[in-house]
Structure 1
Amino acid sequence: MLAAYFDQFNVVNLITIWTATFSGGYLTFSFTNSALMMVFIVLLFWGGLKVNYVIPNRWQSILELINTIIQSMIKENLGAQGKHYFSFVFCLFIFIGLLNILGLFPYVFTPTTHIIITFGLSFSIVLGVTILGILRFKIDFMSMFMPGGVLLMLAPFLVIIETISYVTRAISLGLRLAANISAGHLLFAIFSGFVFDMLTNGLIILSLFPVLVMIFITILEMAVAVIQAYVFCLLTTIYLGDTVALH
């Protein structure tokens, strides 16, 4: 029964693109349900950006609201110099937010529940920040790993600690998103299974309370889907601050 709750996280091979056989096994490149969802989100977002009504419809009003929120986030954390990061952070928020929200619908796969997807995003962001920081500040970028005003004998230990702290940004950023979304999906699956068992056993009245709990969890998960996308983008914006000014 417990294994059934994890079936929603299974990556399903839809189309096999290419397979290579090796002495120890084989390597397969496939188009999966995870890839399908991400391609769908990109196409949906791309089509939505082409909408430009004089009197905004609901979708355009949401995009304009998100636009305002992201601009405010970037201005507060990066200042005027960070405006060229707006498009990246805006698209990142829409991409993660839509994946999280659409994943709440039945039979829809949620790629953000997989650490390989979220870690891929977070690792790419931290790597990009590092490259941009080195290109802008050159060797001075390494001063981030050595706080000023400390004893020389403590320098090696502080450099190691700061380096580990910097590298774990990628792990914590991706893990936080995957863990929160996965926990919500598991909680909802467990409660829905509990309600289904009560209904099939004729306990209709007693099942009313679990149904109310499921409604509350659904509303909560919708909020978590948006909040986690916002937190991911907020932390990304903070990390991008290292390419604007050294701390």
Structure 2
Amino acid sequence: MAEAIHGESNDVAFLEHTLADLNQNGVSGEAFQCAIDFFGGGAPNPLDQFAINPLILMKVGKIYFSFTNPSLSMLLTLSLVLLMLYFVTKKGGGKSVPNAWQSLVELIHDFVLNPVNEQIGGLSGNVKQKFSPRISVTLTFSLFRNPQGMIPYSFTVTSHFLITLALSFSIFIGITIVGFQRNGLHFLSFLLPAGVPLPLAPFLVLLELIPHCFRALSLGIRLFANMMAGHSSVKILSGSAWTMLYMNNLLYFIGDLGPLFIVLALTGPELGVAISQAHVFTISICIYLNDATNLHQLRNFIIE
């Protein structure tokens, strides 16, 4: 029966036999169970592209480690970025007439310098340039990993909240360390604006602390939500178009043109969203760095 479902599902006699079996045996019939097994396990799930699968299982004592597809994806992305930077920055790699890779690296470097100079105030140019390489690495890594989900049979690392949350929290901790290095314990003064009456101080400290901590969440949630929603939409429409095309019916083929054109129309904007999220991520880091180094000077208010 299972072979018939897989190979002869368009056969009229097979369909009549299936209906007769269902009428006679109900949900306990063999045909019903085979159909459930086939259609329940064979129908593509749009969320399968986000599944984490272990590739190499490792165990140290009672602790289990797994090298998963996100690990492989991040390793490949990091290797590609480092390889590109190596060929551009190695001795003799920089050319007076830049090639495509060198032009890309120079473009990313210049692109990062603009928000660093515009968003981070109160610092000299030399101090600002210390942040530029680190932000450039973050931007480059995001530019390579965000559009990965547009490649068939690939894995979108930034579509998992725990991964983006770990990234945003590590950046948030680094920005907090920069704030303490720059201002010492005076960095905590942003929690209590000047001139606040003492009875209101605990409430205002809490009101300032909550949005400050939520910045770490907002970085990760924004990136995760955009990647998850966009790639899922493209996957669902692509699956619908492929299913209609696979039915070998002229009517379905004509009806397939609509979803197919929608998929093609969404591919470009989704690729743009994946790239723009890297830019938004970079701008957010620069804004948070400015607040950490200048103690939210533009946002502080005075309560008499």
TM-score by length of 2: 0.75
Residue in structure 2 matched with residue 223 of structure 1 by the alignment: 272
Q: CA deviation at 1:197?
A: 2.1
Pick the aligned partner of 1:40 from 65, 76, 80: 76
Residue in structure 2 matched with residue 56 of structure 1 by the alignment: 98
Residue in structure 1 matched with residue 237 of structure 2 by the alignment: 191
Distance 2:241 2:129 in 1: 49
Q: CA deviation at 1:53?
A: 3.5
Residue in structure 2 matched with residue 24 of structure 1 by the alignment: none
1:216-246 deviations in Å (ceiling 9; x for gaps): 1110111011110111111011111234322
1:8-46 deviations in Å (ceiling 9; x for gaps): 11111111232433xxxxx31121111111111111111
Pick the aligned partner of 2:107 from 52, 55, 65: 65
Is the aligned partner of 1:240 residue 2:289?
A: yes
Q: CA deviation at 1:85?
A: 0.4
Is the aligned partner of 1:168 residue 2:217?
A: no
Is the aligned partner of 1:156 residue 2:198?
A: no
Partner amino acid, structure 2, of 1:130: T
Query: In 2, are the aligned partners of 1:118 and 1:178 still within 8 Å (CA)?
Result: yes
Residue in structure 2 matched with residue 18 of structure 1 by the alignment: 59
Partner amino acid, structure 2, of 1:76: E
Is the aligned partner of 1:180 residue 2:226?
A: yes
Superposition pairs of residues 107-118 of structure 1, within 5 angstroms: 107-118=153-164
Query: In 2, are the aligned partners of 1:129 and 1:240 still within 8 Å (CA)?
Result: yes
Distance 1:3 1:156 in 2: 53
Q: Greater relative contact order: 1 or 2 (C-alpha under 8 angstroms, separation 6 or more)?
A: 1
Query: In 2, are the aligned partners of 1:70 and 1:86 still within 8 Å (CA)?
Result: yes
Distance 1:241 1:151 in 2: 27
Distance 2:140 2:175 in 1: 20
Q: Classify the secondary structure of the residue corresponding to 1:91.
A: helix
Q: Classify the secondary structure of the residue corresponding to 1:148.
A: coil
1:176-209 deviations in Å (ceiling 9; x for gaps): 1011000011101110111112212322222112
Distance change in 2, residues 1:124/1:241 (3 Å): same
Q: Classify the secondary structure of the residue corresponding to 1:84.
A: helix
Q: Classify the secondary structure of the residue corresponding to 2:253.
A: coil
Pick the aligned partner of 1:209 from 258, 269, 290: 258
Q: Unmatched 5+ residue regions in structure 1?
A: 22-26
Q: CA deviation at 1:212?
A: 1.4
Residue in structure 1 matched with residue 193 of structure 2 by the alignment: 147
Partner amino acid, structure 2, of 1:8: Q
Distance change in 2, residues 1:15/1:178 (3 Å): same
Partner amino acid, structure 2, of 1:48: M
Aligned residue pairs, count: 242
Query: In 2, are the aligned partners of 1:129 and 1:242 still within 8 Å (CA)?
Result: no
Q: Which has the larger radius of gyration?
A: 2
1:68-116 deviations in Å (ceiling 9; x for gaps): 1111110001142321100110000111110012221001111100111
TM-score by length of 1: 0.92
Partner amino acid, structure 1, of 2:167: L
Q: Unmatched 5+ residue regions in structure 2?
A: 1-39, 89-93, 297-304
Partner amino acid, structure 1, of 2:53: V
CA root-mean-square deviation: 1.7
Identity of aligned residues (%): 39
Partner amino acid, structure 2, of 1:47: L
Residue in structure 2 matched with residue 8 of structure 1 by the alignment: 49
Q: Classify the secondary structure of the residue corresponding to 1:63.
A: helix
Query: In 2, are the aligned partners of 1:15 and 1:31 still within 8 Å (CA)?
Result: yes
Distance 1:243 1:164 in 2: 15
